[in-house]
Structure 1
Amino acid sequence: MPATLASILGLGLLVLAMLFTLATSAMLGFYTGRVPQGANGMGLIVPLATGVLAALAMALAGLSWALRGGLDSLGWTRAQGAGAALGAALLVGLAIFGAFIAWAEARGARFAWLLNIGGLLLPLGAMALLALLELRGLQAVSQSGTGRVLLALGAGALLAGLVSALALGYAQALAQHQALARAREARQAEQAEQARRNAMSPAERLREELAAYSPDSPLWTLTSSLPAEPDALRRTIVVERALEVPHFEQDLRENLGSEHGIYRHGAVVLLAELPPERLQPAWAAWLAEDARRTADDIRTLGDLAMHGGDELGAHALAIGRVAARLPPSPALAAALARLHAAVAAAPAHALREPALQALQAAASRPLP
């Protein structure tokens, strides 16, 4: 490629680099504009991109100039000159990027003048210097007054880029240090919390967990775990908290009529744990609904095993025991007989006979 054509191309790239640098600063209000927040922050990709393009255009122009012997007068090889040109372009790009980051972090609003020097004036000076070097050569530029001014601006741009690189590296290291410190503190807090909970009894842990529940938590969030709770004291604690649920009877009725067996089972165990004086005769009709649904589940699923968190054998046994605590009625007796037949037709199971006995005893009580 002829030298003149290469020079024209280099000068064109430098004009573009200057325009991109100016556009970057202008889009940020010359570092006095407000930093956009939220979704609006996506727009910052545009000034960031123009800054990158400015550095890229300068790098290409500098590389072209160095490869055509721009630094031969210093005794450097073309490879050394190319490396110096790329390094200089990188530092100038870092100067622009550093000013952008300082503005975006809202730390430079009071020093917009400094950001305009480091992110606009000095990079423009470095680009103008390269353009003058392209036109007149290194020796002529170094001997002219204008050249010396531009050399000073270029050196300032390199220094600004170096400072930006150091500041960005420090900020990254500080962020990593703080993240590690936060992770360590979180781990220590977690270990301390685990040790505190390990020192508590199971009942104390349960009381603390239930205290964190919302006051209007639905009944099923408390009772669905009751069938699997082997500890009598913990069951008592759950029952006490369940009685505090707003609209307790409405929730109880909905749970006993739910299509989810685990909710019905938990409600039945709740009734089994309630003091006798808290039981209401009207609940017998709700229990009958659970007995009918449980009988249908057993027939459909074909056994008394665990299905969807509901152990059907234990569920049938609990229904029989709770039914014995409620006043007998024709509807309840019919539902119990239906459940008894379903359990009797099911395959052998550890709770099959106890469930049959409990259901038979509850269903055979004399009606009023």
Structure 2
Amino acid sequence: MTTSPGLMSTEQTDETANPAGTPVWNLPQPEDEATPSATLGGEQRRSVEQITLLAFIVIPFLALVAAVPLAWGWGVSWLDLSLMVAFYFIGCHGITVGFHRLFTHGSFKANRPLKIALAIAGSLAVEGPLVRWVADHRKHHKHSDAEGDPHSPWRYGETVPALIKGLWWAHMGWMFDREQTPQQKYAPDLVKDKDIRAISRQFVLWTVVSLALPGVIGGLATWSWQGALSAFFWGSLVRVALLHHVTWSINSICHAVGKRPFKSRDRSGNVWWLAVLSCGESWHNLHHADPTCARHGVDRGQIDSSARLIRWFEQAGWAHDVRWPKQSRIDAKRVPHEARRTSKRNAEESVTADTA
């Protein structure tokens, strides 16, 4: 096997989506004739898919660029802003809590209504069919920043020109690759789930709903076509573009820069300024050090709204078997100098609390 410059050749493994600790792609696979038919999006991306993907990247991005002078010159209404924020965080948490922590890594178990709701919410983010998304991400964890990783920024090497090219690839270039991750190999559990398979196949439907609903709400609220168009611009186009680029930044920025207080076999880092917009996903170093952990921001002051939602779901009885971080496990994964620094800070805080 040939190795691209800057990439390690060793495979990465984790406990993804299987309580026994064996990654699903290493489990025995069902025979082809007994396996349910593929979900939407096979293992080869057709030209029409690539053209559609380009449109869904370019058009919302142009809206995002245009949003700055429009907001400066004419402002943005509270209705448009509310729709943009509401749909942004519904889709974002659908991705982070649903697609990522539940379906990809099995960080918790959900009852059927919550499972379906999270699958639909994640589909509203317009980031591709659920099963394909999960298969790509599981493959990323198996080969993180190594040969076989679908979107490592270190793909072309470590020089500045190579890294610039790699950042482009990790951010969005990899999505135009015709080769797709085998869904039967990396997500057989989801392919066999009738609910998940159906929602993944209905990706086009959920995309239409996601893009149309803000405009419909805006039109009904203002009873005008102008209100509908304005709500569509902010609540659909700008919202989708912002969410896409924040999500893609986890693949690119969080694997190129950021602090690395935990031991991982890749270059994942914590990027604090993306924490709120990414719903806690940018505490990426801990996630790659402990992929099945339900909380990514484990240190003091690290905002992780996805973990908070999972806690609420657990308290409501909708989620169970949540893999919350254990202090002993977290401490064992810290790099030595960070462990000493954290221990010293905790001791100082304890003394301060005692003398207060």
**Could you tell me the TM-score, scaled by structure 1's length?**
0.22
The structure that has the greater radius of gyration is 1
Larger helix fraction of residues: 1
**Could you tell me the TM-score, scaled by structure 2's length?**
0.23
